[in-house]
Structure 1
Amino acid sequence: MAYVNSSRAASFSLADRISGVLALIKMQIARRSVYNQTVRELVQLSDRELSDLGIARADIHAVAHEAAYGK
């Protein structure tokens, strides 16, 4: 008995590609929003409040980047 196995490369339509790009843009906008909100909230804290959280004022942008984009 003979078996036939055929494989085709997945082809993505233009609509699939556009949808993928739009999803990527949407995700990047959401991450940037988280970054901006985190920076805004941390900047408003006093040095004492930041110290209680274990964050130096100079580290605010690094902490916001980690919150939005991960390590």
Structure 2
Amino acid sequence: MAHAPQTRALANPSAGLLDSLWPALAARVAWYRTYRRTLDELRQLSDRDLADMGMHRSTIADVAREAAGRL
């Protein structure tokens, strides 16, 4: 009787690592997209509009980081 080799025995040891990296990578990409979108939108506002919201142009990156951190 012929015996077929069992390929499952040679499981990929890095598969577990990749499985754990994908969700972390997806979360980081989502965070970065939110950060960039917020940053771009705030940079388009005038100084007057920013002042009306209680912000200064120098705080835009901090506000974008805070907004993206709430994901």
TM-score of the pair, normalised by structure 2:
0.72
- Find the counterpart in structure 1 of residue 4 from structure 2: none
- Find the counterpart in structure 2 of residue 22 from structure 1: 22
After TM superposition, the runs of 4+ consecutive aligned structure 1 residues lying more than 2 A away are 13-17
Would you say how many aligned residue pairs link Structure 1 and Structure 2? 58
Asked if 1:63 corresponds to 2:63, the answer is yes
Query: Which runs of 5 or more residues in structure 1 are unaligned?
Result: 1-12
* 1:17-59 per-position Cα deviation (integer Å, ceiling 9, x unaligned): 3222100000000000000000000000001110111110000
Query: Which runs of 5 or more residues in structure 2 are unaligned?
Result: 1-12
CA-atom RMSD in angstroms: 1.5
TM-score of the pair, normalised by structure 1:
0.72
